[in-house]
Amino acid sequence: MPELPETETIARALDELVRDSVITAVAIPRPNVLREHSADEFGRRLREVAITRCWRRAKCIVLDLSTGDRLVVTPRFTGGLFVARRDAAPEPPPSNPDYTCLALTLSDGRTLRYRDVRRLGTVALMDPARFAAWTAGIGPEPLDPDLTAPLFSGFIRVSRRAIKTVLMDQRRLAGVGNIYANESLWAARIAPTRAAARVTRAEAATLLAELQRLLAASIAVGGTTFRDYRDPLGNRGGFAAQLQVYGREGEPCPRCGVPLSGHHKLEGRATVWCRGCQR
């Protein structure tokens, strides 16, 4: 599932590609990805509307519209947003099978498509009040300069749940998923199963610094691609080559050489860590 670096990469590329474009037509071949509105209402509210900004909130891509509405796309496991460059050759016909769920024709003739093989992602059109309520239910952004080490320590150390589970709780911290939770905990030498309440203030400060370092490094190379994730131009992310523990169960720890352990006991997700140097 695309996490913060992947959705940040998508949002930045879209902002460059489609900002100030006007949506002239809306096609919804698979309306079951829509939330908040029917297909008819969704199409009516998007036609002849300009896209004024594209940005990210948590693991979602947000398109600000000239009407004040916002289009919130949550790609989940196999969803993706794709568009050609303005100077590119005409788009080829959609692939067969075509997994396009939503297609927005833009004023310059290009098409912004949301494709989703498994259709687990969602697309929601929110008015200002609905968007405010939605975003208020999400925790702070880990790359926000206002998120200081004392604040981070304060909201994670009140929980008795496993620290990895707390990191991935979007109500406490936005955008962190399985990949970067595993990696940041290894970098900070903290066992993923340790109760968050048992993480010291000093360890919390180290964990935040490592998490921010990893997220920034991943954004710099377009995120992590294993299989489905691509940016809006179809490019793969390059951070997989820098992963130290995720997907490496049984291999030697890069730091101490002890074989990396793994299980699926936390939230049913793959947890990989080193019993030798994570405590």
The residues annotated with a catalytic role in the active site are: 2-3, 59, 269
Residue 155, number of CB atoms within 10 A of its CB: 18
Three-state SS for 271?
strand
Which residue blocks in the chain are alpha helix, DSSP H?
Answer: 4-18, 39-46, 128-136, 149-156, 163-167, 178-187, 201-220
Q: Look up residue 151 and give its two tokens.
A: 């604040």
Question: What tokens does 49 get?
Answer: 């509307």
95, burial (CB in 10 Å: exposed 0-12, middle 13-18, buried 19+) = exposed
Structure letter (DSSP) for residue 199: S
Backbone angles phi, psi at 180, to 5 degrees: -80, -20
Give, to the nearest 10 degrees, the angle between helix 4-18 and helix 201-220: 40
Token representation of residue 17: 């590609």
Q: Residues 7, 175: contact at Cβ < 8 Å?
A: yes
Q: Are strands 271-273 and 261-263 parallel, antiparallel or unpaired?
A: antiparallel
Return the half-sphere exposure (C-beta side, CA atoms, 13 A cut-off) of residue 86. Answer: 12
